């Protein structure tokens, strides 16, 4: 198992075929303001690839964009809504089809309100991950070892989580409901980008 750091694009041919786990790191939580700094991606075979974008990047990244926009590859996220918005805004592609472990967790782990990645990994996989670097400066020209390990851990376990959550969704009869949620997520991300990050447009109220 190794963590590979790349600048501005993913090398061609480094990923196996099939689903990929994806995550992003940005300068903050306001997507149009807080630039995309890092995209993490893993094919689930043991290595994680980190693609760093510098200040002033054009975000051309043809290899990464091709993988993310490939309709034959499921993209596994934890809280896909945020990552989809960041990827579409900066890389110009819709990184679907989607499996979101956070949504799947909320649909089947109704016995708890703890749906963070750390909680899922601990309960389902009996492993511990650190979130200490979550609020660090991802825009730095150099990423330290702690940042690299944190970023890699955000995609390292997503394939295994998806496999277990698929079983639980089927067990609870919520597979089709989950699929419908996943299919809507790119539109939900576009609503965020268009100015409706908080207001529920499906609500009866006018707010």
DSSP-assigned letters across all residues of the chain:
--EEEEESSPPTT-S-SS-EEEEEEESSS-TTTS-EEEEEEE-SSS-EEEEE--TT-----HHHHHHHH-TTSPEEESSHHHHHHHHHHHH-----SEEEHHHHHHHH-TT-S--SHHHHHHHHH------TTTTS-TTSSS--HHHHHHHHHHHHTHHHHHHHHHHHHHHTT-HHHHHHHHHHHHHHHHHHHHT-SSS-TTSSS--
Residue 206 counted as domain residue: no
Q: What is the pLDDT of residues 66-97, one digit of tens each?
A: 999 999 999 999 999 999 999 999 999 999 99
Residue 199 lies in a domain: no
pTM of the model: 0.95
Q: Specify the number of domains making up the chain.
A: 1
What's the pLDDT tens digit per position in 100-157?
Answer: 999 999 999 999 999 999 999 999 999 999 776 667 899 998 999 999 999 999 999 9
Residue 202 placed within a domain:
no
Residue 86 domain-assigned (yes or no): yes
Q: Mind listing the pLDDT tens digit for each residue in 32-47?
A: 999 999 999 999 999 9
> Is 95 a member of any domain?
yes
Residue 205 lies in a domain: no
Residue 109: inside a domain, yes or no? yes
29: domain CATH number? 3.30.420.10
Assigned domain for 201 exists: no
Give the residue numbers spanning the domain of 70: 3-194
């Amino acid at each position: 198992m190794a963590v590979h750091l790349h600048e501005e694009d993913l090398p061609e041919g480094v990923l196996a075929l099939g689903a990929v786990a994806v995550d992003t790191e940005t300068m903050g939580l306001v997507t149009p303001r807080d630039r995309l700094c890092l995209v993490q991606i893993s094919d689930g075979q043991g290595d994680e690839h980190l693609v760093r974008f510098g200040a002033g990047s054009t975000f051309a990244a043809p290899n990464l964009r091709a993988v993310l926009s490939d309709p034959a590859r499921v993209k596994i996220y934890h809280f896909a809504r945020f990552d989809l918005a960041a990827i579409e805004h900066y890389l110009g592609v819709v990184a679907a089809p989607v499996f979101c472990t956070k949504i799947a967790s909320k649909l089947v782990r109704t016995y708890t309100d703890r749906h963070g990645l750390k909680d899922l990994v601990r309960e389902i996989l009996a492993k511990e991950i650190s979130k200490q670097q979550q609020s660090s400066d991802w825009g730095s020209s150099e990423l330290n070892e702690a940042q690299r390990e944190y970023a890699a851990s955000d995609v390292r376990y997503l394939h295994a989580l998806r496999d277990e959550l698929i079983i639980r969704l089927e067990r609870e009869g919520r597979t089709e409901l989950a699929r419908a949620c996943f299919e809507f997520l790119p539109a939900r991300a576009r609503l965020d980008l268009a100015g409706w990050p908080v207001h529920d447009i499906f609500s009866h109220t006018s707010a």
